[in-house]
Each structure stands twice: as structure tokens, then as C-alpha cells.
Amino acid sequence: MTAPVVEMPSGKDAAYENFPVGSWLLPAHLRPHIAIFYAFARAIDDVADSAELSADEKVRRLDGFEAALLGGNDVDGYDKAVHMAESLSATGVTTQHCLDLLAAFKQDAVKNRYDDFDDLIAYCRLSAAPVGRYLLDLHGGSDLGYGPSDALCNALQVINHLQDCQDDYRTLDRVYLPGDWMSSAGVDVSDLDAASASPGLRIVLDKSLAATKELLVEAHKLPGALASKRLALESAVIIDIADSLVRRLASGDPLASRIKLSKPAVMMSGLRGVVRGILA
């Protein structure tokens, strides 16, 4: 019997991400587990972001991933959740990080607007912070707990929302910009459909970037607190990439074109990050 079609591949892969996924900086014996985690996260994210599925169908499929992750009997089509459960069992990492991701993407299925920055960060704590928490648990933890890691992951998520603000609105009618900042700047969601950012939208973008910079101040504490020197190097590279993207977004217009780093710029961030990680 053919397994039911559950996943909705978007074509996005590790190369699409702003940050390296399971790079050579990380221990070789852990990279397969990181690849399994990324594949699971990518699959459930793609379901939540599908423009073809109804909200109810998205939630139904995400419930199926959750059941398979927790050891349910009906696993046809949910292979990535089964593999994730096996990986978690082998490494001793809690399932909670995966459950938080599922909760975030179920929220994406039914919630398209965010009242303020705190509301947005509450979402990021489910959609982004669990990625860093998983990596910390996998690599032996941090002297400072999850705080700096959460700050970095939440900053990366906000950066991604700013990069994709137009596409999210056009394809999914989803707006991650804080509603109160939009209202005070006289911005309507339809402004996101324009060829360039209006003066009001620029104010909202700049406020979002200022808040992101504050998160990155906390994130800079991360490399020096990690038990794993290899993860410290990786996190230092990611922090440098985040800093660079914030600068690009401050001077560029995400409605005119997607703001991203060139390959040479990513390489420079990698070099700077490795040096800072070694010093940390």
C-alpha cells in the first residue's frame, strides 16, 4: 500500500537558511542527528507554510507528526517524525524542543497577525528558540543556560521575517511585523505589496531592527559560555552573520529585493566568527 502524501516540500533546504546547518565546525558524530532534526523541522515548517492546504488540514497533518514523534501507531507518511524520535532516543535529548516547534507551526496555521513585539517574541520562543535549545542539549549545554541561545535564535527569526515580509504577506496573508508599531506609523498591511517601503513602513522596519540588535547584545555572550568548543565556533559564525544581516536590512529595502549576504560576505562572516569563537 502506498503511504499517504503528508509532506508539502517547498524546495527550501539548508542552503536557503541564513545560518550554516550542521557545518564541518560541529562534531562529525553529531552531524547526522542535526541533519535529522533539520529535516523534521523543515518538513513541519513546509506544511505550515503551504498555500494549498486549509488551516484545518495543516493542523491535522501536524498532529500526525506529533503522534508519530511520541510513538503513535499511525506513522504512514510521517517517516521524518519517526526518525526524529529514534534520534532523540539515541542522544537523550528531550522531545520538548520538537513539540514546541509543532506548537509554533500549528499557530502559524491559524494566526496571521501579531499585536506587538512581545507577542511576536512569544511566537519566536516556540518557532526559533527550540532549535538552539536542541543544539545546546546535544552539545553539553551552556554555563548561562538557554538565555543567550534563545536571544540569538529569536533575533534570527525576526531577521528572517523582515527579509520575507512581502512574500509572507503575498503568499500566505501572514504579517509578522508588530501591529502596534504599524498602527502608530500609519502603516496598513497592504503597504507590504508595494514595490518599495513607504516612510511609515521604514519606521516599523527600523524599530524591529533596533529590537533585534538588543537581542544580539545578549546573544554575544553565547560562544564563551558553551561546553562545546566546536559549537562555540559555530555560534560565533552565526552571530556574525546575524550582525551583518541587520546592517544590510538597515541600509536596504526588503520590498525592493530580498536582503541577503553574498557568498563572499558569508565567507568573511565565517572567518570573523571563527576568530571570535577561538578568542571566546
What's the pLDDT at 24? 72
Count of Cβ atoms closer than 10 Å to residue 53 Cβ = 16
**214-231 b/e with 16+ CB inside 10 Å = b?**
ebbebbbbbbbbbebebb
Measured CA to CA, the distance from residue 170 to residue 220 in angstroms comes to: 34
What's the pLDDT at 40? 96
What's the pLDDT at 25? 83
pLDDT along the chain (280 residues), means of 10: 67 60 82 96 96 95 95 78 96 98 97 98 98 97 97 97 97 97 98 97 98 98 95 93 95 94 70 64
The three-point CA angle 67-153-112 to 5° equals 65
Among 109, 136, 167, the domain-final residue is: 109
Give the number of C-alpha atoms closer than 13 A to the C-alpha of residue 79, restricted to the C-beta side: 6
Do 124 and 261 lie in one domain? The reply is yes
Do 137 and 256 lie in one domain? The reply is yes
Do 268 and 191 lie in one domain? The reply is yes
Distances (CA, A) of 128 to 1, 183, 190, 208: 36, 26, 27, 17
**1-10 b/e with 16+ CB inside 10 Å = b?**
eeeeebbbee
What's the pLDDT at 230? 92
Do 124 and 241 lie in one domain? The reply is yes
Residue 150: give the domain boundaries. 111-280
Measured CA to CA, the distance from residue 238 to residue 105 in angstroms comes to: 23
**107-142 b/e with 16+ CB inside 10 Å = b?**
ebbeeeebeebeebbbbbbbbbbbbbbbbbbbbebb
Do 209 and 151 lie in one domain? The reply is yes
What's the pLDDT at 62? 97
What's the pLDDT at 249? 97
Measured CA to CA, the distance from residue 77 to residue 74 in angstroms comes to: 9
What's the pLDDT at 243? 95
Helix, strand, or coil (residue 78): coil
Decide if 3 is inside a domain: no
Decide if 5 is inside a domain: no
Do 128 and 267 lie in one domain? The reply is yes
Q: Say if residues 241 and 18 touch (Cβ distance below 8 Å).
A: yes
Do 57 and 193 lie in one domain? The reply is no
What's the pLDDT at 212? 98
Among 81, 109, 137, the domain-final residue is: 109
CATH of the domain at 127: 1.10.600.10
Do 257 and 158 lie in one domain? The reply is yes
Main-chain dihedrals φ then ψ at residue 142, nearest 5 degrees: -140, 145
Tell me, rounded to whole angstroms, the distance of Cα 97 from its chain centroid. 13
Measured CA to CA, the distance from residue 133 to residue 55 in angstroms comes to: 28
Based on the structure, what is the number of domains in the chain?
Answer: 2
Among 109, 125, 160, the domain-final residue is: 109
Decide if 2 is inside a domain: no
Do 161 and 90 lie in one domain? The reply is no
Do 181 and 194 lie in one domain? The reply is yes
What's the pLDDT at 1? 46
